[in-house]
Structure 1
């Protein structure tokens, strides 16, 4: 999760874990990172559990559809390269897609959000 957060932040996004970041930028554009607990997987029939896989979602938020799509594109660019995880070799995050952009009218002013889901695998 730390590697994903670092990549998104380095990619120019304000990111919060499990919701909005502590300080939302004046632009109103940010990303919320949601990570599942992951799974250890056997590398062979010997059941040596050195492989690890997890799914995560980057929910991109913006005050307009254009800014929301901009945040999603920034996230894609930031997650395009393999992530650096100390002591492990990580594959490039695989984008799995997600539901379409939606408008949240329960907040004022309304915000647009676009969840993009990924899968990440690594081995030691």
Structure 2
């Protein structure tokens, strides 16, 4: 999970883990990552649980639809390369899609957000 947050931050996004970042940049563009608990999977009939699967959502936020799409593109580019996790080999995160951009009128000024879901698998 830390590797995902680090990859997004390394890709030029301000990132929050489950909440909006404490300091939102002046551009109003940021991302929030939501993780499920993940699932350990057996690698063989010997029931050695070395494989791991994790689903997560990157909610990209911006003051305009264009800037929201820009954030989603940055997230996609940041997650394209396999993640480096000590002692593990990770596949590239698989993009699963999500709903269209939506406008949040409950904040002032309104923001646009785009949730994109991913799945990551790794083994030791």
TM-score range, shorter chain: over 0.9
1:72 alignment counterpart: 72
2:90 alignment counterpart: 90
Q: CA deviation at 1:46?
A: 1.1
Q: CA deviation at 1:68?
A: 0.1
- TM-score, normalised by the number of residues in structure 2: 0.99
SS at match of 2:4: helix
CA RMSD of aligned residues (A): 0.4
Q: Using the alignment, how far apart are the partners of 1:98 and 1:43 within structure 2?
A: 30
Q: CA deviation at 1:99?
A: 0.8
- Structure 1 runs of 4+ aligned residues shifted over 6 Å read none
Q: Using the alignment, how far apart are the partners of 1:17 and 1:2 within structure 2?
A: 9
Number of residue pairs the alignment of both structures matches: 124
Instruction: Output aligned runs, 1:98-117, within 5 Å.
Output: 98-117=98-117
Q: Using the alignment, how far apart are the partners of 1:69 and 1:98 within structure 2?
A: 13
Gaps of 5+ in 1: none
- TM-score, normalised by the number of residues in structure 1: 0.99
Q: Using the alignment, how far apart are the partners of 1:87 and 1:48 within structure 2?
A: 16
Q: CA deviation at 1:45?
A: 1.2
Q: CA deviation at 1:19?
A: 1.7
Gaps of 5+ in 2: none
